[in-house]
Amino acid sequence: MDASITIVTIAYIVILVVPGVFFKRFYFQGPFSQQFQSGQFADRFVTSLFWGMITQVITFYLFINTFNVDSKSIFELLTRTHGELNENKVPILELSDLTNFLYYFICSVIVAVILGHLCHKFVRITKLDIYTEVLRFSNKWHYYFSGEILKTREFQNNIPLSGKVEATLVDILVKYGDGDDRLFSGNLVQFTISQDGNLETIYLAGTRRYSDSNGKNIPAKEIPGDCFIIPYQNVLNMNVQYIISKDKEQKRKVKLQRWKFSLLQILIFVYLTFVIFYPWFTSVNFFFKILANFTLLLSWITMAIAIGNYLIPDKNFGIKGIMALVSFTLFFLFLGLWIVDINIFQEIVNVIGVLISRFDSRL
């Protein structure tokens, strides 16, 4: 009895925790990847279990609609298997049951990966981690060195941000031993942190030195080289200065460009979500759902290229190039919807007909 309960418990934990681990792996990415391995084991386990449960709910709904599996049969299989294990009996499973379980587990991992990546992008694009302390990542150095810390409520009350942070200058007092301290200044280009979130290494470009080995002030001396590396363990103190564009006209253009860029990013994000998930809610078979996914993904790629060309004028394809990209986007979109039995032209005609009938009824 105890052994069977243990086996069932382990199986349930694995099914729930593994997708949660994949979700967190793709949620904590980029400069925040170290947070995936930080914290106590109990905290990581509980959060993985929580996100695994959410992933399983989404996966279960997608799975029964994609493979046309009866939800009652799944519950009956789980109940029967659980009862047989509790009675110290070996569950009798058919090959189709094992195949469906394998497909289901793979689907749960894929959903967890996509969901974690999309949640990360949503939080960063909407800047929820900056404005909401609960959602803020543990890598505080990213916020300080990128200038994003100036957008938080604490800094906005004391240092209102009046422009865009163009660059970050850092003055670092480095300990050489025996009181031989030297001051270095340069443009911050990169930094590394440890698993516990502590700063490890700082990388500067255009570095200058302001004192000699005796600590006497001398004119700034340019240090030859492209990248100056300073271990943080030798740093006594550090001053961070942001280069902010303050021209009003430039500020207005930057703000407008930033809003435009954010809206287009949200558009790309929403359309990608539609491309990934929509075919799985239709009634066509599995092959057509995969084919629709691939076709709609081509539509998303051409749309992303067109938007990227709009945001980056240096990569201008010209009017003809943009028209070609838009044409391909619409072609793959209509083709993908046609694969899942949706005639977009007929739907447009129906909508127009409804609008006309309502207009006539009011007259």
The answer to whether the CB of 321 falls within 8 A of the CB of 309 is yes
Q: Does residue 356 register a pLDDT over 90? A: no
| Residue 189 vs residue 225, higher pLDDT | 189
Residue 23, pLDDT score: 93
The model's confidence at residue 30, banded by pLDDT at 50, 70 and 90, is confident
Distances (CA, A) of 179 to 182, 212, 267: 9, 12, 56
Residue 215, pLDDT score: 47
Residue 25, pLDDT score: 92
Q: What is the mean pLDDT of residues 232-257?
A: 76
Number of neighbours of residue 145 by Cβ within 10 angstroms: 22
Each residue of 201-220: pLDDT tens digit? 999 988 888 765 454 556 67
The answer to whether the CB of 126 falls within 8 A of the CB of 258 is no
10 Å CB burial of residue 362 (0-12, 13-18, 19+) is exposed
Buried b (16+ CB within 10 A) or exposed e, 245-282: eeeeeeeeeeeeeeeeeeeebeebeebbeebbebbbeb
Q: In angstroms, rounded to a whole number, what is the distance separating the alpha carbons of residues 170 and 203?
A: 10
- Comparing CA positions, the residue from 266, 240, 135 lying closest to residue 187 is 240
Mean pLDDT over each residue of the chain, to the nearest integer: 78
Share of the chain above pLDDT 90, in %: 7
Helix axes 248-277, 286-311, angle to 10 degrees: 170
Residue with tokens 């997708």: 19
Q: What is the mean pLDDT of residues 88-111?
A: 74
Q: Does residue 272 register a pLDDT over 50? A: yes
CA dihedral 223, 228, 229, 230 (to 10 degrees): 50
- Comparing CA positions, the residue from 74, 79, 54, 53 lying closest to residue 64 is 74
The model's confidence at residue 164, banded by pLDDT at 50, 70 and 90, is confident
| Residue 61 vs residue 359, higher pLDDT | 61
Residue 203, pLDDT score: 92
Helix (H), strand (E) at residue 263: helix 248-277
Q: What is the mean pLDDT of residues 317-338?
A: 80
Residue 351, pLDDT score: 58
Any idea what DSSP says for residue 31?
G
Share of the chain above pLDDT 70, in %: 71
| Residue 186 vs residue 37, higher pLDDT | 186
Which of 30-39, 166-175, 196-205, 337-346 comes out lowest in average pLDDT? Answer: 337-346
The model's confidence at residue 112, banded by pLDDT at 50, 70 and 90, is very high
Residue 202, pLDDT score: 92
Q: Does residue 48 register a pLDDT over 50? A: yes
Any idea what DSSP says for residue 143?
H
Which of 62-76, 134-148, 251-265 comes out lowest in average pLDDT? Answer: 62-76
- Comparing CA positions, the residue from 139, 148, 198, 194 lying closest to residue 168 is 148
Q: Does residue 361 register a pLDDT over 70? A: no
Number of neighbours of residue 55 by Cβ within 10 angstroms: 26
The distance from CA 122 to its chain's CA centroid, rounded to whole angstroms, is 7
Q: In angstroms, rounded to a whole number, what is the distance separating the alpha carbons of residues 260 and 258?
A: 5
The residue type of 193 is I
The C-alpha angle 239, 244, 248, rounded to 5 degrees, equals: 155
Q: What is the mean pLDDT of residues 241-247?
A: 76
Residue 333, pLDDT score: 85
- Comparing CA positions, the residue from 196, 184, 182, 278 lying closest to residue 239 is 184
Q: In angstroms, rounded to a whole number, what is the distance separating the alpha carbons of residues 136 and 55?
A: 22
Residue 286, pLDDT score: 79
Q: In angstroms, rounded to a whole number, what is the distance separating the alpha carbons of residues 154 and 210?
A: 32
The answer to whether the CB of 163 falls within 8 A of the CB of 251 is yes
329-338 long-range contacts, CB within 8 A, separation 24+: 329/299, 329/302, 329/303, 330/299, 331/299, 332/295, 332/296, 332/298, 332/299, 332/302, 333/296, 333/299, 335/295, 336/275, 336/279, 336/292, 336/293, 336/295, 336/296, 336/299, 337/292
Beta bridge partners of 217: 211
Q: Does residue 44 register a pLDDT over 50? A: yes
- Please tell me whether the overall predicted TM-score, pTM, comes out greater than 0.75 for this model: no
The residues, ordered by sequence, that sit 6+ positions from 236 with a Cβ below 8 Å of its Cβ are 173, 174, 175, 181
Q: What is the mean pLDDT of residues 279-306?
A: 83
